[in-house]
Amino acid sequence: MSFKLFFASTFGLIKSTAKIEAEHEALLNDYQMFCEFEQSSEQKEYHELEVLVKSATFKQKKKELQSLMLKGSKEDAQLNELKKLGKNSRLQKFYATHKSEELKRFEKISGSETMKKYKELKTAVERHSLAALKKMDKQSKEFALYTEFLSLRDSADLIFFRDFRKSSGYKNYELMLESPERKRFEELQKITASDEFKARVAYLEDKHKWEKTEESLKEKRFAELQKMPQLINYLKYKHSSALDFFKKWHLVFEDRFASGKLDLQKWQTQSHWASQTIGQNFSQIGDLHAFTDGKNISVDGKSLKIEVRKERAKGMQWRIPFGFVEQEFDYTSGIVSTAGTEWWKHGLLEAKVKYSPANNLVDAIYLLGEESSPQINLVEMGVKNRLGLLSKSADGIQADSESIAGLKAGEYYIFTLEWTTHSLVWKINGREMLSLNQNVPAFKMHLNAASIVVAEPVDHLPHRFEIDWVRFYQHADKK
């Protein structure tokens, strides 16, 4: 067992596959929602409203408007002043006199012909002394005028006129007629009776004045946007590093094997060398199986299965010095490859694989370049359970690898390879297992998955190499 696996398993440092997948899918959904909203008109609208609503000017205006009320206002002062003047006793007495019938009679008498005649007679009479008037010939014209004067003076109208003019009511009337109090009172009456003033008072008394503004509508729209799941998601991750994986890596290849059949737009069922040479699969020296052209490959809508069967079949085998020779085999197997469609240089390879090593078999997912290139094993199970880099040398095959013995048989694990310019890093369920910085391939490679029979006896046939999904990412700036 690998010490790293033993240590990680003992201390619970390897997350469960189900948990990793659930977290990945949840984050992916959130990232897709994040990207969609980031480019949406709602995001632009939210940003504009956020700047507005959170500005000092907006907050100050809202505060001022919400604190604006009739009490303490200029209009309130005017109404209070009017009310106070309305209680002024002299003004009340003035308006009582102003509306009275007595004043009307007084003013009527004041402007009458009788008053005019009385004034003329009074002027004439006042030219004579009282003693002279008494000695005056009663038949004279002057005495007749005097008699007429006395008659008018003692008439009911003029007696009323003189008495009213001497009254306290009329004296107050004259005093207040041109007074500042009366002028201010009537000025305020005119002001407060205007439609403009009434509208202003109604506005000041309105407890919902803010809600009726255009700014309030924008504030409400801002609040509505804040309740959007897309915005909540966007704000959650806006300044978070949780989505950095999806920002860094762009998915260039994926197969979830959910269609019920192998996607031939992504895969071919021959190795690269077979398709480039004789146009059909062939086996290497030492292999005990024939590769069929897809007959041992199945996709059931859940996973890809490469099946090793105990059955006789004819196939081609490479033999030196004869070349390709037809031979009969006791086993059949399969291979899938992206060589016909997808080749990559640097990136992140991930696959969810059922760990089910079988005696004398090799199940592997690996990257290959052109002929004689190193082989990068994402995972290898069977005779050897490992991951790493296999390179050809004068002494044979050199393996820079890490054992994965100790994983639970029958369980799915997520195997990851991060391939950069300077390093190769392997992980199982996010836990780093191996890192190499020598002999790192610097050319394009394609993906393969195959099962190989290398010795007998083979237990528990048919054997199925199961892959739930596979993905390849490249740096987002290279997409």
Give pLDDT tens digits for 462-478.
999 999 999 999 998 76
Q: Let me know if residue 162 belongs to a domain.
A: yes
Confidence of residue 130 (pLDDT cuts 50, 70, 90): low
Task: Determine the average pLDDT of the residues in 290-309.
Answer: 96
Residue 1 has pLDDT above 60, yes or no: no
Among 153, 165, 171, 163, CA closest to 115: 153
Q: Let me know if residue 159 belongs to a domain.
A: yes
Per-residue model confidence as pLDDT tens digits over 64-83: 999 999 999 999 999 999 99
- Structure token pair of residue 142: 């002057």
Q: Let me know if residue 56 belongs to a domain.
A: no
Q: Let me know if residue 199 belongs to a domain.
A: yes
The answer to whether the CB of 462 falls within 8 A of the CB of 334 is: no
Separation of alpha carbons 332 and 451, rounded Å: 9
Beta bridge partners of 474: 250
Q: Let me know if residue 21 belongs to a domain.
A: no
Q: Of 172, 188, 205, which closes a domain?
A: 205
HSE-CB of 360 using CA atoms within 13 angstroms: 15
Q: How many CB atoms lie within 10 A of CB 422?
A: 9
Task: Determine the average pLDDT of the residues in 311-324.
Answer: 89
337 phi, psi to nearest 5 deg: -150, 150
Separation of alpha carbons 276 and 335, rounded Å: 15
> Are residues 351 and 265 part of one domain?
yes
Q: What is the pLDDT of residue 257?
A: 97
> Are residues 160 and 262 part of one domain?
no
Confidence of residue 11 (pLDDT cuts 50, 70, 90): very low
| Contact partners, residue 53, CB within 8 Å, separation at least 6 | 218, 219, 222
Task: Determine the average pLDDT of the residues in 343-369.
Answer: 97
Instruction: Report the CATH number that the domain containing residue 285 is assigned in CATH.
Output: 2.60.120.200
Among 273, 252, 322, 301, CA closest to 450: 273
Task: Determine the average pLDDT of the residues in 129-147.
Answer: 74
Task: Determine the average pLDDT of the residues in 317-339.
Answer: 92
> Are residues 259 and 168 part of one domain?
no
Residue 136 has pLDDT above 80, yes or no: no
Least confident of 3-12, 229-238, 321-330: 3-12
Task: Determine the average pLDDT of the residues in 88-102.
Answer: 96
> Are residues 324 and 191 part of one domain?
no
- Structure token pair of residue 183: 């002028």
Per-residue model confidence as pLDDT tens digits over 167-184: 999 999 999 999 999 999
> Are residues 300 and 192 part of one domain?
no
Q: How many CB atoms lie within 10 A of CB 202?
A: 11
Separation of alpha carbons 119 and 469, rounded Å: 125
Among 447, 459, 400, CA closest to 424: 400
Confidence of residue 124 (pLDDT cuts 50, 70, 90): confident
Separation of alpha carbons 325 and 314, rounded Å: 10
Among 382, 383, 377, CA closest to 351: 377
> Are residues 414 and 329 part of one domain?
yes
Separation of alpha carbons 42 and 469, rounded Å: 35
Task: Determine the average pLDDT of the residues in 21-46.
Answer: 96
> Are residues 181 and 268 part of one domain?
no
Residue 21 has pLDDT above 70, yes or no: yes
> What mean pLDDT, rounded, does the chain reach?
93
> Are residues 299 and 444 part of one domain?
yes
Q: Which amino acid makes up residue 394?
A: A
CA 276 to chain centre: 52
Q: Let me know if residue 46 belongs to a domain.
A: no
Q: What is the pLDDT of residue 248?
A: 95
> Are residues 165 and 259 part of one domain?
no
Number of domains, the chain: 2
Among 454, 470, 468, CA closest to 308: 454
Domain that holds residue 440: 252-478
Q: Let me know if residue 243 belongs to a domain.
A: no
| Contact partners, residue 377, CB within 8 Å, separation at least 6 | 364, 365, 366, 386, 387, 388, 389, 390, 401
The answer to whether the CB of 326 falls within 8 A of the CB of 281 is: no
> Are residues 316 and 415 part of one domain?
yes
**Strand boundaries in 235-340, DSSP class E:** 249-255, 282-283, 289-291, 297-299, 304-319, 323-333, 335-337
Task: State which H helix or E strand residue 140 sits in.
Answer: none
Q: What DSSP character marks residue 453?
A: E
Confidence of residue 2 (pLDDT cuts 50, 70, 90): low
> Are residues 178 and 274 part of one domain?
no
Q: What is the pLDDT of residue 392?
A: 85
Q: What DSSP character marks residue 261?
A: S
> Tokens 């590093």 identify what position?
241
Q: Of 205, 236, 262, which closes a domain?
A: 205
Q: What is the pLDDT of residue 327?
A: 94
Separation of alpha carbons 216 and 208, rounded Å: 10
Residue 439 has pLDDT above 80, yes or no: yes
Residue 185 has pLDDT above 80, yes or no: yes
Residue 4 has pLDDT above 90, yes or no: no
Q: What is the pLDDT of residue 44?
A: 97
Task: Determine the average pLDDT of the residues in 149-165.
Answer: 93
Q: Let me know if residue 110 belongs to a domain.
A: yes
Separation of alpha carbons 69 and 184, rounded Å: 24
> Are residues 176 and 272 part of one domain?
no
16 phi, psi to nearest 5 deg: -70, 145
Burial class (CB within 10 angstroms; exposed 0-12, middle 13-18, buried 19+) of 152: middle
